């Protein structure tokens, strides 16, 4: 029996997302792996804001918490 592994596509907002402006360090790699290119992509709060045409708060994180800036 063959297993078909479907490659997950990256988020459509990846190249114009606040997340990548907010983080200057490698800590953003966690968020990218988990959300932007990972299994939790559809649960991302930034994405929800964008999908509804809302302005995304600068310090909003994919899990809905806010980064202190
Ligand atoms: S943080 Fe959310 S909206 Fe931004 S690229 Fe990643 S999954 Fe998409």
Q: Could you say which residues of the chain have pLDDT below 50?
A: 1, 3, 5-6
Atom nearest to 17 CA in ligand 1: 4
Query: Does the global pTM surpass 0.75?
Result: yes
Between vectors from CA 20 to CA 67 and to CA 48, what angle results, nearest 5°? 70
For 6-15, give one letter per residue: b (16+ CB within 10 A) or e: eeeeebebee
The pLDDT, as a whole number, for residue 34 is 95
Among 16, 41, 65, name the best residue to mutate to test ligand 1's pocket (greatest count of ligand atoms within 8 A of Cβ).
41
What is the distance between the terminal CA atoms of the chain, rounded to a whole angstrom?
51
Which residue CA neighbors atom 6 of ligand 1 most closely? 36
The pLDDT, as a whole number, for residue 37 is 94
The pLDDT, as a whole number, for residue 5 is 47
The pLDDT, as a whole number, for residue 7 is 53
d(CA 4, ligand 1 centre) in Å: 26
The pLDDT, as a whole number, for residue 61 is 93
Task: Classify burial at 37, counting beta carbons within 10 Å of its beta carbon; exposed 0-12, middle 13-18, buried 19 or more.
Answer: middle
Query: What torsion, rounded to 10 degrees, do the Cα atoms 28, 63, 10, 2 define?
Result: 110
């Amino acid at each position: 029996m063959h297993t078909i592994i479907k490659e997950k596509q990256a988020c459509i907002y990846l190249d114009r997302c606040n997340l990548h402006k907010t983080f200057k360090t490698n800590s953003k790699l966690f968020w990218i792996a988990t959300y932007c290119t990972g299994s939790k992509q559809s649960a991302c709060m930034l994405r929800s804001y964008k999908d509804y045409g809302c302005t995304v708060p600068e310090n909003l994180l994919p899990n809905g918490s806010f980064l202190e800036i």
